[in-house]
């Protein structure tokens, strides 16, 4: 197509554009990282599992002997760089009331996934031409879940049908008609604006609360008399983003504390910045901080909330936990421009306990108690209900302190995450090398027994990731501290370039939990580990930032993060054309939405679809 024709078409669309509805980003499942053939275990049960609809199926036996499957398959894939999806296969028996309830009830992996009732849910389907047409609706359970997006939100509560215009106790749900075959098709449920009908357990046709659970997908045949097999591949189930979401730079570069942003800007990048704040525990203290200048410049803001620093403790004595949670709420309420929070720091280390080693140890049980209090306090504040509230990173390489009931760092980390469960929104790690040799970044060397399974150098991040519960491995990860384990040597030896290359390579595998950012420790001259003024070290960082190392796996131009660069993305960009940047439509992240962004989108139009 000639450029002039494209431009005229673009302008016509722009003139017709009136507005677009968005929702916050959350990738729930892409079915990567599981073995082919795993049946009824990953998010969805086999078709025959639900007693509500098994009576409508022509076969309910083993998957390998017939059509009763919800299994991992490499036959089709929609995920960029991925190779798997979920193959669902069943047969109806000709009953005029037939439908299929494909439920997520207590599966082994990613059961009862939490979704927002105020946002849009997207999923992709591949339907072979041999499959008859069907209707699709959502079954959502009203659990009032407080879990993170995609985490287990419980299996108790009323179930409503979303997107169904017909359906009751005697009639199957009639949802969105699926007719396109032999291609990947995106289906979007704009949950707050879809019709809602009651299904079970006291449902009333009204969505109660802000969040609940994707309890099932409802498949209803257009022609119930069709009894030949139905085969549907599912992939990339996610919540779509909103233009009002915080500005999240697409790159993985970062710094512990502000001051070095100029180096990133000089390379055309924006970075993640870790701020650390000393709050105390006075609930009447209403001071906060304005992070908007950083956010409005396109940087990502992460804030660590501390009671104090050594020897006062990153958290207060347990007798002050309630007051500290109130102070946290006051600080968040009176701050602007931040939506990612960390509660405390390296709580397994005696240096971080109130009073030091002679004070009160922060055991796993104590930490879980104060974390939940702080998370509840933050998420109760208007405008912060969807904030990411994350547990403290552990002090990496720390030994156990059995006399204080403190296990070694990996066990402390795992016990903490297991105890908090789904009520956490992301993960913060610390990873270092022992020495400035740039090859240490890729080193496979392990520690001495009994820690001979633990990486001695930077790849310890892999040990930490391996302890995250499988049901939470869709959540974002940040490395908020990394250095050489000694003061920066003011050399451009490639250590920093290697560190970012390592994480970039890790992120290329869609089966790996995504790492959004790596913050070098640290910029200001507060302790011997500073970078400020060490121009050779800064040059190493600048050269690393000349690479396009991004945490986003979506194609360039996919401004609504649905995995496909299409007319919906084009319309959204055109509607914001000429406006301020550092939103999803600012594809080159230069602070303005202009023809450079439009050309990037047009160049990638059709990618991922």
Residue found under tokens 């390379």: 267
Cβ contacts of 8 within 8 Å, gap of 6 or more: none
Question: Concatenated DSSP letters for 458-494?
Answer: TTHHHHHHHTS-GGGTTS-EEEEEE--SS---S--SS
Per the document, the length of the chain is 609
Mean pLDDT for all residues in the chain: 92
Q: Which overall architecture, per CATH, does domain 25-239 show?
A: Sandwich (2.60)
CATH, domain range 253-440+478-505+514-544: 3.20.20.80
The 10s digit of each residue's pLDDT in 462-514 is 999 999 999 899 999 999 999 999 999 999 999 999 999 999 999 999 899 99
The 10s digit of each residue's pLDDT in 228-274 is 999 999 999 998 877 667 768 999 999 999 999 999 999 999 999 99
Residue found under tokens 């007798």: 319
Task: Supply the pLDDT for residue 18.
Answer: 31
Domain assignments of the chain as residue spans, ordered by start = 1-22+565-609, 25-239, 253-440+478-505+514-544
Indicate the helix (H) or strand (E) that contains 516.
Answer: strand 515-520
Q: How many C-beta atoms surround the C-beta of residue 403 within 10 A?
A: 8
My answer on whether omega of the bond before 322 falls inside 30° of 0, hence cis, is no
Pairing, β 230-239 against β 253-256 = unpaired
Contact 454, 447 (CB under 8 A): yes
**DSSP tag of 44:** S
**Residue 26 pLDDT class (50, 70, 90 cuts):** confident
**Residue 561 pLDDT class (50, 70, 90 cuts):** confident
The 10s digit of each residue's pLDDT in 141-150 is 999 999 999 9
Contact 362, 401 (CB under 8 A): no
Copy the structure tokens of residue 446: 């392990």
CATH, domain range 1-22+565-609: 1.10.1330
């Amino acid at each position: 197509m000639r450029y002039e024709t494209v431009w005229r078409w673009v302008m016509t669309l722009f003139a017709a554009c009136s507005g677009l509805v968005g929702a916050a980003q959350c990738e729930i499942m892409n079915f990567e990282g599981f073995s082919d053939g795993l049946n009824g275990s990953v998010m969805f049960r086999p078709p025959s599992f639900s007693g509500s609809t098994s009576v409508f199926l022509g076969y309910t036996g083993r998957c390998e002997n017939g059509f009763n499957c919800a299994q991992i398959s490499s036959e089709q894939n929609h995920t960029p760089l991925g190779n798997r999806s979920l193959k669902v296969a069943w047969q109806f028996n000709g009953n005029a009331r037939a439908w299929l309830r494909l439920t997520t009830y207590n599966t082994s992996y990613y059961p009862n996934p939490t979704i927002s009732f105020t946002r849009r849910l997207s999923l992709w389907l591949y339907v072979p031409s041999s499959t008859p047409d069907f209707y699709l609706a959502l079954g959502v359970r009203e659990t009032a879940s407080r879990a993170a997006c995609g985490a287990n939100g419980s299996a108790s509560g009323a179930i409503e049908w979303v997107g169904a215009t017909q359906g009751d106790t005697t009639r199957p749900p009639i949802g969105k008609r699926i007719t396109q075959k032999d291609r990947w098709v995106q289906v979007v449920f704009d949950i707050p604006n879809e019709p809602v009908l009651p299904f079970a357990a006291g449902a009333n046709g009204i969505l109660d609360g802000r969040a609940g659970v994707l309890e099932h997908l409802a498949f209803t045949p257009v022609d119930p008399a069709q009894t030949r097999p139905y085969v549907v591949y599912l992939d990339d189930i996610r919540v779509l983003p909103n233009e009002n979401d915080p500005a999240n730079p697409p790159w993985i570069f970062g710094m512990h504390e502000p001051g070095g942003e100029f180096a990133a800007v000089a390379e055309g990048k924006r970075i993640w910045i870790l701020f650390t704040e000393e709050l105390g525990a006075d609930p009447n203290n209403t001071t906060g901080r304005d992070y908007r200048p950083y956010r409005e410049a396109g940087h990502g803001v992460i804030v660590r909330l501390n009671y104090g620093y050594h020897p006062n403790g990153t958290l207060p004595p347990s007798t002050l936990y309630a007051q500290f949670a109130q102070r946290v709420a006051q600080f968040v309420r009176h701050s602007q421009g931040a939506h990612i929070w960390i509660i405390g720091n390296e709580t397994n280390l005696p240096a971080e306990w109130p009073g030091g080693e002679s004070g009160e140890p922060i055991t796993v049980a104590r930490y879980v108690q104060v974390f939940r209090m702080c998370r509840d306090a933050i998420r109760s504040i208007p405008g912060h209900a969807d904030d990411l509230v994350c547990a403290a990173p552990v002090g990496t390489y720390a030994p156990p302190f059995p006399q204080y009931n403190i296990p070694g760092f990996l066990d402390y980390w795992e016990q903490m995450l297991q105890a908090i469960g789904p009520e956490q929104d992301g993960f913060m790690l610390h990873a270092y090398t022992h020495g400035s040799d740039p090859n240490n970044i890729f080193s496979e060397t392990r520690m001495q027994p009994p820690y001979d399974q633990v990486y001695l150098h930077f790849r310890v991040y892999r040990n930490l990731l391996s302890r995250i519960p499988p049901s939470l491995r869709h959540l974002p990860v940040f490395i908020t501290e990394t250095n050489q384990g000694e003061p920066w040597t003011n050399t451009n030896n490639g250590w920093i370039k290697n560190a970012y290359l390592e994480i970039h390579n890790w992120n290329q595998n869609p089966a790996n939990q995504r790492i959004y950012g790596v913050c070098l420790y640290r910029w200001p001259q507060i302790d011997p580990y500073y970078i400020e003024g060490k121009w050779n070290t800064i040059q190493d960082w600048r050269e690393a930032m000349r690479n396009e190392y991004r945490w986003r796996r979506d194609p360039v131009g996919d401004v609504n993060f649905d995995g496909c660069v299409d007319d919906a993305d084009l319309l959204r960009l055109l509607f914001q054309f000429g406006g301020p940047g550092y939103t999803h439509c600012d594809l080159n992240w230069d602070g303005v939405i202009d023809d450079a962004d439009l050309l990037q989108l047009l160049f990638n139009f059709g990618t991922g679809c």
